Chain A
Amino acid sequence: MRPWRLPLQLRPGAGPGGVTVPRAGLKKLVIPPDYSGVTIPEKTKLKFMDKVPAVPKVKREPRQLRDIRGPSREATDFTQGQYGILALGGGYLHWGHFEMIRLTIGRSMNIKNMFAIWRVPAPYKPVTRKSLGHRMGGGKGPIDHYVTAVKTGRLVVEIGGRCEFEEVKPFLTQVAKKLPFPAVPISRDGLEQLRREEEEKKLNNQNPWTFERIVTANMLGMRRYLSPYDVKFQGRYWGKFFLKHRV
């Protein structure tokens, strides 16, 4: 079996076969970025999150899946850091996820020049599980573990310090792929750009029929097949999922 090799990097101006004549040009000396106003806190690594809160819950709580549904109202903007992981769907993070995030980021980041902070609380919501192999009935099961609810548009962790997005992106993507909901690494500029693009899409949409218009006017009796939440969410959210391509 011939060992598989990665294809060569694309060279600009290359002819067939990727052949180019090497040219010597003036070296463009780039001024390094200025990090003078950046303060790095003492504890740069992510805090350890408990599996169970300090005061464990006695009363079992109803499921309340509405804490996954729809857009997030907290932790949507950056506070101290410049880069972070943005959740593009709803889901629950349990202690395993927290450990994965903490260890991966702690391993990959530069402790002297970068710092990371949590933007989600430690697991607080009790989740019950019935023991395996039993039939339905017999009451609600005991508390098995605790989770944190995350809605779409919430930041999970924030990274800051004397670093660039390209340095931080690899391990943030690695973490984002392992989360139970779709997530992307993002910077302050990236978030602004996302919001701007959303606004632009709303403005330059050529389709005269929008979900909002049809639902608020209850055209064709559509409210019969939709829930009151759809009026709020304007067709962009379905269950825990976030439909990015919709306007």
Chain B
Amino acid sequence: MAALRSVAPWRGGWLPALQLVRHGSKAVTRHWKAMHFQRQKLMAVTEYLAPRPAVPPRCLGPRREAPQEDNGYAQLLRRQVEEAFRDNRMIAICQYNSMPDEDLVLMRHYLRKHNIEVKFVLNEIVRPVLSQSKYKNLLPLFVARNILLVSPEAKVREMLRVLKGVPQVNLLGACIDDTILSRQGVENFAKLPPLEAAQGQTVGALELLPSQTSSLLQRGSAHLTALLDQHIHRLQTGETGSTAEPSPAQSSGAH
């Protein structure tokens, strides 16, 4: 009587005959809902695969850190070091071991009296500055903790005297008037006489030969002058006759 009810009254769409829900657990659960095996397989197949670089990273060398940008403070310190090397005649490099503050202040005071300034320098600043200037050979000295004693005049003897009283500061080397000297060299330099005396010695050594030549040339007239003087002296003392006068004149004519 009644027409058969059609299963799908609308056209086109269809519902699956079998719903894959067995126990009625909802889609969103508090626990981790177990996946259908086919879905598990699908998840396993479609996992992410990371790209493999052609050269494995451990074959490439250790990555060099990019050079850090220049600190304004570092630039300032470098400029100060360059100025110190330019403006001062004497630059002495000493090893610095930690000493009590009051001793350090005293040492600075004594050196200041001789117009020697003490500068604390950082190796990481000095080394690049020196490697690009003409003082490349001073690089091996800037290794551990050190200080610079700079001065516009070269008062080495006073400096050595002060440093002898301070056991914690050891002289390593110096650059005096653009000449690099080792510790021994500095000590020798200290023993040298002052500039005027050295100049006088050089002049004396140089004029030795010409002075000998001049004395040779003047020997004859000097001898005559000496004899005449002797004669005058004898006349004055002895009151001999004038006969003695022509005889020395004849003898001088014979010469």
Taking beta carbons and an 8 Å cutoff, which residues of A are in contact with B?
A: 24-26, 28-29, 65-66, 68-69, 90, 201, 204-207, 209-211, 214, 222, 224-227, 229, 235, 238-241, 245-247
Contacts and interface: CB of A to CB of B under 8 A. Distances in A.
B54 to A, nearest CB: 13
Nearest to B31: A239
A47 B91 CA distance: 69
Contacts of A24: 122, 145
B23 to A, nearest CB: 15
Contacts of B30: 240
A225 B71 contact: no
B141 to A, nearest CB: 17
B29 interface: yes
A211 B28 contact: no
Contacts, number: 80
B42 A211 contact: yes
A12 to B, nearest CB: 12
Interface in B50-89: 50-52, 71, 73-74, 77
B10 interface: no
26 contacts: A25-B122, A26-B73, A26-B122, A26-B124, A26-B125, A29-B71, A29-B73, A65-B26, A65-B27, A69-B27, A206-B51, A211-B42, A214-B45, A222-B38, A224-B16, A224-B38, A225-B36, A227-B27, A229-B27, A235-B43, A235-B46, A238-B33, A239-B28, A239-B29, A239-B32, A246-B46
B7 interface: no
Chain B: interface secondary structure? loop
Contacts of B125: 26
A127 to B, nearest CB: 13
B50 A206 contact: yes
Contacts of A209: 45-46
A247 B48 contact: yes
A210 B45 CA distance: 8
Given A201-B48, A205-B48, A225 B33 contact: no
Nearest to B71: A28
B244 interface: no
A204 B51 contact: yes
A27 to B, nearest CB: 8
B216 interface: no
Contacts of A207: 46-49
B8 interface: no
B197 interface: no
Given A24-B122, A209-B45, A225-B42, 14 more contacts: A26-B74, A65-B26, A206-B50, A206-B52, A207-B46, A207-B47, A207-B49, A210-B46, A211-B43, A222-B38, A224-B20, A238-B33, A239-B29, A240-B28
Q: Which of under 10, 10 to 19, 20 to 34, or 35 or more describes the interface residues of B? A: 20 to 34
B11 interface: no
Contacts of B52: 206
Contacts of B46: 207, 209-211, 214, 235, 246
Contacts of B73: 26, 29
Nearest to A239: B28
B132 to A, nearest CB: 18
9 pairs of A and B residues whose beta carbons are closest in the complex: A65-B28, A206-B49, A247-B48, A207-B49, A211-B46, A225-B38, A225-B36, A239-B28, A204-B51
A224 B77 CA distance: 74
Contacts of B29: 239-240
Nearest to B48: A247
Contacts of B39: 222, 225-226
Contacts of B43: 211, 235, 246
B56 to A, nearest CB: 16
Nearest to B125: A26
A29 B36 CA distance: 60
Contacts of A239: 27-29, 32-33
A26 B71 contact: yes
B15 interface: no
Contacts of B1: none
Contacts of B49: 205-207
